Amino acid sequence: MISTSKLMVILTVLFLFLLPVFILRVSASSEETAALAITQAEETVASAYEAVLEAEQTRANVSELLDQLNVAGGHLAEAHMLFRLGDFDGAVHFAEISSEIGMDVKNEAEELKIEAYGSWITSLWIRIIGSIVGVIAVVFGTLLAWRVFKRRYFRQV
């Protein structure tokens, strides 16, 4: 039977040999997590940029959203830099911040797009109704002028 001190020495040596394997696995998994977080943040910021472009095409005021996108891009650049330096936790942190800002910008851009579209529809209705009222006024004005002209013409003849 093995004594407890020999068992302890054997377990310590075994632990020291296996420790680098565990450290490499943890490091690899955090590297993969950071890479995944950065990729997701890039996709989120790109979709937010597309949403801002669509909102801008509907004539929405997107200047504030563009400023927020610049901030998100700065955080994404910081995440890339930290990833290259091996600070995977910091990279994940900045990628998550960038992703959150990107989602907020995308949601706000969608809201602005809906508001701008609603405003456009309202202004279209106002123009249509104004045109119809204008046509009716011209028709009634013409008929009134015709009656007046007709009366005067027959009085003179």
Residues 6+ apart with CB under 8 A from 41: 72, 75, 76, 79, 95, 96, 98, 99, 102
Q: How confident is the model at residue 28 (pLDDT cuts 50, 70, 90)?
A: very low
Q: How confident is the model at residue 34 (pLDDT cuts 50, 70, 90)?
A: very high
Q: Average pLDDT, stretch 13-30?
A: 58
In angstroms, the CA 74 to CA 67 distance is 11
Q: Average pLDDT, stretch 91-100?
A: 95
Between 99 and 25, name the one with better pLDDT: 99
User: Among candidates 107, 103, 54, which has minimal Cα distance to 75?
Assistant: 103
In angstroms, the CA 100 to CA 38 distance is 12
* pLDDT greater than 80 at residue 42: yes
| Residue 27 confidence (pLDDT) | 46
In one-letter notation, the amino acid at residue 154 is: F
| Residue 25 confidence (pLDDT) | 45
User: Among candidates 26, 28, 37, 27, which has minimal Cα distance to 79?
Assistant: 37
Q: Average pLDDT, stretch 102-107?
A: 95
In whole numbers, what is the pLDDT of the chain averaged over residues? 86
* pLDDT greater than 80 at residue 32: yes
In one-letter notation, the amino acid at residue 136 is: I
